[in-house]
A and B are shown apart, each in its own frame.
Chain A
């Protein structure tokens, strides 16, 4: 047996982030007095540098390394860039919030970086093991971050729930992986696909494995019936952490779904499409209906997120029609476009909550948005963009996200799903409209001026304007998604 030195080049970004995580850990231990600022700035610098490394090491074709455990392709690179971007924005929004609550310990940023590393491993995994390791790395960091405000009983409770349910989901996923291994004799995605294609896999075991894998994926995406943790965790976690949970991990979970379902299990698409169909329909219905009843805006956004993830699944399930793969690229890139759009909107929505919060005051209730137009017309306008965009009203990016997913669903011939989705969107529009109503039609109850660091204000404005600008010119992001997936299918 001879040892071949693997090609490290495609994994340069992952290696860099891992090294930087260790550097930050050491630096913040030894330079305790300036650790907070140092850790934050180093983390941001690492994310930016990682983005450059990813861009420079990008290759047009698919490259495997580390004995096929690791894959570098355009989809992975694109999603990694989006993950750096959304993590960086989330940390920027959250820093002052954490500082006001005296929980901006240097370790927080370290955990965020480790979470990013976990997500990077997830999106570049070509094998069940690194997929699982990446997932756990991300999840463990997130559990800790939720519990970061350790004196808050609510946050601790949320973290406990998140951890117990998350561990259960990991168990399900692992169990499913072991069954797929038993059925196909491999953990590597392309080998699994090959085994299924050759029909050498034991169908019964494979189906059982598939069910467990889908359950695990659904848990990580936070869709019905594996959604129970979402509202509690969103509400209980410090808003700065909710912001992180509601953005980048959705992209990582999307990548996991694509790698597992489309790469490894494409030939039994018919089976998982049915499961996703039920899950998506239930998520869209329950998410929208439950959101109406919420008084807490974080819970409302949690339920709205559940319905948005239902839309992402709609895109994923519309890819194969009667064994015809002609629609695949269209449908999967629509789903990816939806996921990316959702992350952009989600960042802005939680960013607004952070903007309205201050030391000793959480702007958690929907009523805290009352009369925002009087207090600050500009940010009311930004929140208006976010809300109408989430409701799927043009000229905002959310409209084109819905349009592309619905287009894929209609092309696949699932009219009843499309009708269900739009009827639920109308019901969903009600709670978004209610936020607009409070901001514009009601008088403020809280009249204290909004104070936030300049960088948060600027970033939030950019974020809100981006929602409008991408709605006016959605083509670039759409074709990026399509192009990124093209090489991977």
Chain B
């Protein structure tokens, strides 16, 4: 069992499968491309299951480690491994990929093979990001994953797609290139090692620590995205096709947050401690201010995009209050947000496929024509606002609890999200779903078909399961989170 390179399989099955899908060529072979893509996505998910079942939750050490020399000239290794911080994201990513393939089944009729291939390749690259333990390997996956998403937004996106795609790419590229310099500096300081685990042990004076922290902050802050570098996200979400939005929200945003845990906190702990007030302030601004911004959106996708930024503010807040509840809560929130935001975008996609409008004002009374859909949408909107018994509650509650432990007023401000979240989610839901049938287009709506029912039901199950019994999720992170916090508490000066 341990001999099978599971992480490599999780990375390369989707990538190679994606290339095969690409090879099916033109749209005449579209059914074949779809079937193949689905098979590859399922296979990619299946190989990640042993990562959970075989995971040893009692240790914080890296597991399923693979190590081969890649570029000996610069001591770059193909070094993979997961711990409690990353393992769930690999699985989540593989899982979301299946839903994305299903969601694009009928809607995408143009360049089907390229669409499916882009998502599969992106999925493999993202698994690489979560499992890379070598700085350059991480960077390579991090950058390369921009290409498929750039193409997805640009080719299958909405009217203003080109602007959104280029903005997305350049924003992220700027951040990651500054990170590259920080990586090269660490490479030099550590005497020629790109291993992230070596860097965790590397003593550094405070000035370079702060500069490195800021370089990482630009890279990961853009990706999260944190206020004030968040403006690319609403554009990207609005213009992206449904699948693109789902992947971006469910996985893409997690990359930045994960980067904080893997790089910023353990490599430069003193700078992280010193700059924590800055990070907490930025996070709270995201939570409150962006929450208000979400409230006034007229476009459903934009609303969910802003709500994502607000939720991710919660995640970064959880990281920088340095207690186990905060960090674990943030991790739970990340996974929950993966399910919930993915589900919200899928729901909006379901409506958009029928009406070709995302404006809230064009809807009203959808419950009359799409009752099954309305039930699912209700659940996800509730989860998005953090209702108890849904996954959204668990993470938010833990972070608020941690924040109150840290400082009452920070906890107080953070807790306003529960009100704001409910306000924007439920108010949108009310305007779209309830009331009289607003116009003849809504009257002609057809309820969800079996395929749509399937992926919404799976997500609904996940949201409820995680909300009612979060233990299987928190169990695997305990050891790693405690180790991380113990490590951060020790000065490197």
Chain A interfacial positions (CB closer than 8 Å to B): 373, 377, 384, 388, 393-395, 399-400, 403-404, 406-407, 410-411, 415, 418-419, 422-423, 425-426, 429-430, 433-434, 436-437, 440-441, 474-475, 478-479, 482
A198 to B187, CA, bound (A): 38
Select which of A373, A404, A423 is within 8 A of B74 by beta carbon: A404
B397 interface residue (CB < 8 Å to A): no
Contacts of A410 in B (CB 8 A): 181, 184-185, 187-188
Closest approach, in angstroms, between the C-beta of B140 and any C-beta of chain A?
A: 4
User: A423 touching B174 by the CB < 8 A rule?
Assistant: yes
User: B144 touching A433 by the CB < 8 A rule?
Assistant: no
Contacts of B144 in A (CB 8 A): 393-395
User: Can you name 16 extra interface pairs (CB under 8 A) apart from A393-B144, A407-B74, A422-B177?
Assistant: A377-B25, A394-B141, A394-B143, A399-B140, A400-B71, A404-B74, A407-B187, A410-B181, A410-B184, A410-B185, A418-B181, A422-B181, A430-B166, A433-B166, A437-B162, A475-B73
Q: A399-B143, A403-B74, A475-B71 are in contact. Are A437 and B177 (CB under 8 A)?
A: no
Residues of B137-168 at the interface with A, using a CB-CB cut-off of 8 Å, are 139-141, 143-144, 146-147, 150-151, 154-155, 161-162, 165-166
Nearest B-chain residue to A482, judged by Cβ? B73
User: B71 touching A433 by the CB < 8 A rule?
Assistant: no
User: A441 touching B154 by the CB < 8 A rule?
Assistant: yes
User: A437 touching B147 by the CB < 8 A rule?
Assistant: no
User: A394 touching B114 by the CB < 8 A rule?
Assistant: no
Chain B interfacial positions (CB closer than 8 Å to A): 25, 70-74, 111, 114, 136, 139-141, 143-144, 146-147, 150-151, 154-155, 161-162, 165-166, 169-170, 173-174, 177-178, 180-181, 184-185, 187-188
Nearest A-chain residue to B184, judged by Cβ? A410
Nearest A-chain residue to B187, judged by Cβ? A407
A395 to B178, CA, bound (A): 18
**Main SS of the interface on chain B?**
helix
A407 to B150, CA, bound (A): 28
Contacts of B154 in A (CB 8 A): 437, 440-441
List 22 A-B residue pairs with CB atoms under 8 Å apart, sorted by A's residue number: A373-B111, A388-B147, A394-B139, A394-B140, A394-B141, A395-B144, A403-B74, A410-B187, A411-B184, A415-B185, A418-B181, A418-B184, A419-B178, A429-B170, A429-B173, A430-B170, A433-B169, A433-B170, A436-B150, A440-B151, A441-B154, A482-B73
Nearest B-chain residue to A471, judged by Cβ? B140
Select which of B73, B141, B161 is within 8 A of A478 by beta carbon: B73
Contacts of A400 in B (CB 8 A): 71
Closest approach, in angstroms, between the C-beta of A470 and any C-beta of chain B?
A: 11
Interface centre among B144, B162, B180 (most CB of A within 10 A): B180
Closest approach, in angstroms, between the C-beta of A188 and any C-beta of chain B?
A: 33
Contacts of B139 in A (CB 8 A): 394
**Main SS of the interface on chain A?**
helix
Contacts of A434 in B (CB 8 A): 166
Contacts of A373 in B (CB 8 A): 111, 114, 155
Select which of B114, B140, B141, B147 is within 8 A of A377 by beta carbon: B114
Closest approach, in angstroms, between the C-beta of B72 and any C-beta of chain A?
A: 6
A395 to B174, CA, bound (A): 17
User: B72 touching A475 by the CB < 8 A rule?
Assistant: yes
A434 to B163, CA, bound (A): 11
User: B177 touching A441 by the CB < 8 A rule?
Assistant: no
Contacts of A436 in B (CB 8 A): 150-151
A474 to B169, CA, bound (A): 25
Contacts of B72 in A (CB 8 A): 475, 479
User: A426 touching B173 by the CB < 8 A rule?
Assistant: yes
A288 to B177, CA, bound (A): 16
A377 to B185, CA, bound (A): 40
Nearest B-chain residue to A337, judged by Cβ? B73
Q: A429-B173, A440-B155 are in contact. Are A415 and B166 (CB under 8 A)?
A: no
User: A403 touching B136 by the CB < 8 A rule?
Assistant: yes
Closest approach, in angstroms, between the C-beta of A448 and any C-beta of chain B?
A: 19
User: A441 touching B173 by the CB < 8 A rule?
Assistant: no
A50 to B341, CA, bound (A): 62
Closest approach, in angstroms, between the C-beta of A279 and any C-beta of chain B?
A: 21
Rank and list the top 4 A-B pairs by shortest CB-CB distance, nearest first. A422-B177, A394-B140, A410-B184, A441-B154
Closest approach, in angstroms, between the C-beta of B209 and any C-beta of chain A?
A: 15
Select which of B70, B114, B165 is within 8 A of A475 by beta carbon: B70
User: A426 touching B71 by the CB < 8 A rule?
Assistant: no
Q: A395-B144, A406-B184, A410-B185 are in contact. Are A441 and B155 (CB under 8 A)?
A: yes
A474 to B140, CA, bound (A): 13
A419 to B141, CA, bound (A): 21
A440 to B178, CA, bound (A): 28
Contacts of B174 in A (CB 8 A): 423, 426
User: B73 touching A479 by the CB < 8 A rule?
Assistant: yes
User: B150 touching A433 by the CB < 8 A rule?
Assistant: yes
Contacts of B173 in A (CB 8 A): 393, 425-426, 429
Interface centre among A384, A388, A410, A479 (most CB of B within 10 A): A410
